[in-house]
Homo-oligomer: A and B are copies of this chain.
Amino acid sequence: MINGHELPDWDVRAWLNTDNPLTLQDLRGRVVVVHAFQMLCPGCVSHGIPQAKAIQQAFPPSRVQVIGLHTVFEHHESMNETALKAFLYEYRIRFPVGIDRPDPRGNPLPLTMQAWHLEGTPTLIILDAQGHVRLQHFGQLDDLRAGAVIGQLVAEADASFTTSGT
């Protein structure tokens, strides 16, 4: 676990599964779990998305917010917004999903993916309640380790709240 830097906010073209756009700033006070994925990425479908759904179910949203980030860097034509909607529906994904903004200068990597230095998909990014990156993992991370990081950050948020409340 890294003791981490702040991230610039995501740059998202559209949101699904939420009525209002979300910002990292809005989520301050909660642990934020970002699952960067592509709908046609096998490792995302078999591992990352089930894990993100399980995290959403295991923790109350007031403490831990799961966010999907659709970081399309290949097969752009096929992984468009309409296709993503069908995918979210078929896979019963209910957490908010932001569509990372395509690079207007033509870089195949979308803007948040560039700004956050993501190496590919799936990537799991976990931010503490102050918005600092505490874990950024490309590939599959087992549930035990993912749970441990989230549990630790939830406890830190509690302790911090207690302290600042004194």
Contact = CB atoms under 8 A, between A and B. Distances in A.
A90 B42 contact: yes
Q: How many copies altogether?
A: 4
Interface in A18-76: 40-42, 45-46, 51, 54-55, 58-59, 74-75
Nearest to A43: B90
A147 to B, nearest CB: 3
Contact of A148 (B46, B78, B150): B150
26 contacts: A40-B86, A40-B87, A42-B90, A45-B45, A58-B142, A74-B86, A75-B86, A75-B90, A78-B80, A78-B82, A143-B144, A143-B147, A144-B144, A144-B147, A145-B147, A147-B147, A147-B148, A147-B151, A148-B148, A150-B151, A151-B153, A151-B155, A152-B155, A155-B156, A156-B159, A159-B159
